[in-house]
């Protein structure tokens, strides 16, 4: 310690520079189409693959970027996982690819990332589409899903059908199981592995249910699309949305939470009409 103090003393009167090193999150993405950039962000336990079919539709009018958020899809895993970080991941992605005021669509968790980004960086978003999520805190409600995923022992797993059978003890809906098991893949050694970082999701699941991280408002055009049978909306949520997103409109489609998957035609028509409005 004495040597360290002596060295520091020798720097008195000289300029001292301190450098902080931050690891950039190189997000995996798929690009298609041409025109104004459009970024699409998936929800919790999803990936860019979930939007592949709709991307073909949007790519007829825009340059589409399907992005895997951290700890999902083929993007890197990190022990840290919250909306502050995902907002900065998105900023870095936009800067890295030199995108000028892109359009942004976000579903569920992706919608929370998009909302936080629009509030913190309002001049960097030209139009915002938020799918079945509200700028408020939600109680943890994915426990049974996480329990089901943890019940699948990858070391002894022999097939996807076995994984589905194990998961069915915790998740009864076949379509939800199919969605979740898209995260299961075989490594080059032939073993099963998860693309999602379950440990990080477990550790930070309450933060993923958190309300808005950044304070402020977004006055740009915003479209909130909700499912009529979704439980993510409650009476009074429209007032909460309008208080933060002062130029927002709300559209309801006859779906549950996975609006874009349950009625892709109505969803794409609704979104394209909004995005193409002068």
pLDDT of residue 278: 67
- 3-state DSSP: the chain helix, strand, coil percent, rounded to 5? 40, 15, 45
pLDDT of residue 24: 77
Flag whether pLDDT at 207 surpasses 70: yes
Average pLDDT value for the chain? 91
Flag whether pLDDT at 5 surpasses 50: no
Query: Would you state the CATH architecture of domain 29-138+209-275?
Result: 3-Layer(aba) Sandwich (3.40)
Percent over 70 (pLDDT), the chain: 91
Beta bridge partners of 184: 194
DSSP structural state of residue 27: -
Res. 182 pLDDT band, cuts 50 70 90: very high
By DSSP bridging, strand 103-107 and strand 63-67 are unpaired
Cβ contacts of 223 within 8 Å, gap of 6 or more:
127, 128, 129, 130, 248, 249, 250, 251, 270, 271, 274
Q: Which of 42, 72, 107, 257 is catalytic?
A: 257
Flag whether pLDDT at 93 surpasses 80: yes
Instruction: Name residue, tokens 């002068």.
Output: 278
- Whether 75 is catalytic: no
Q: How many CA atoms lie within 13 A of 95 on its CB side?
A: 10
Beta bridge partners of 40: 66, 105
- Whether 108 is catalytic: yes
Collapsed DSSP state (helix, strand, coil) of residue 53? helix
Give the ranges where 46-140 is alpha helix by DSSP (H). Answer: 52-58, 83-96, 109-120
Q: Which of 108, 170, 204, 230 is catalytic?
A: 108
Residue spans of the domains in the chain: they are: 29-138+209-275, 143-198
């Amino acid at each position: 310690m004495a040597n360290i103090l002596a060295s520091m003393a020798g720097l008195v009167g000289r300029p001292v520079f301190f450098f902080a090193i931050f690891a950039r999150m190189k997000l995996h993405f798929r690009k298609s189409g041409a025109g104004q950039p459009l970024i699409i962000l998936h929800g919790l336990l999803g990936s860019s693959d979930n939007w592949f079919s709709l991307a073909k539709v949007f790519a007829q009018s825009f340059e589409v970027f399907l992005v895997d958020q951290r700890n999902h899809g083929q993007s890197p895993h990190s022990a840290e996982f919250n909306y502050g970080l995902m907002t900065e991941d998105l900023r870095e992605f936009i800067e890295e690819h030199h995108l000028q005021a892109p359009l942004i669509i976000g579903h569920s968790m992706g919608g929370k990332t998009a909302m936080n980004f629009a509030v913190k960086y309002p001049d960097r978003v030209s139009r915002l589409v938020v799918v079945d999520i509200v700028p408020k805190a939600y109680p943890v409600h994915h426990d049974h899903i996480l329990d089901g995923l943890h019940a699948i022992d990858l070391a002894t797993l022999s097939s996807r059908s076995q994984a589905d059978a194990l998961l069915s003890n915790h998740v009864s809906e076949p379509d939800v199981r199919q969605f979740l098991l898209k995260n299961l893949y075989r490594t080059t050694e032939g073993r099963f592995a998860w693309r999602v970082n379950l440990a990080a999701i477990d550790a930070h699941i309450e933060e993923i249910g958190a309300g808005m991280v950044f304070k402020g408002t977004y006055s740009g055009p915003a479209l909130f699309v909700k499912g009529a049978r979704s439980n993510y909306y409650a009476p009074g949520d429209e007032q909460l949305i309008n208080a933060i997103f002062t130029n927002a409109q709300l559209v309801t489609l006859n779906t549950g939470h996975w609006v874009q998957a349950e009625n892709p035609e109505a969803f794409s028509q609704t979104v394209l009409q909004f995005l193409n409005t002068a």
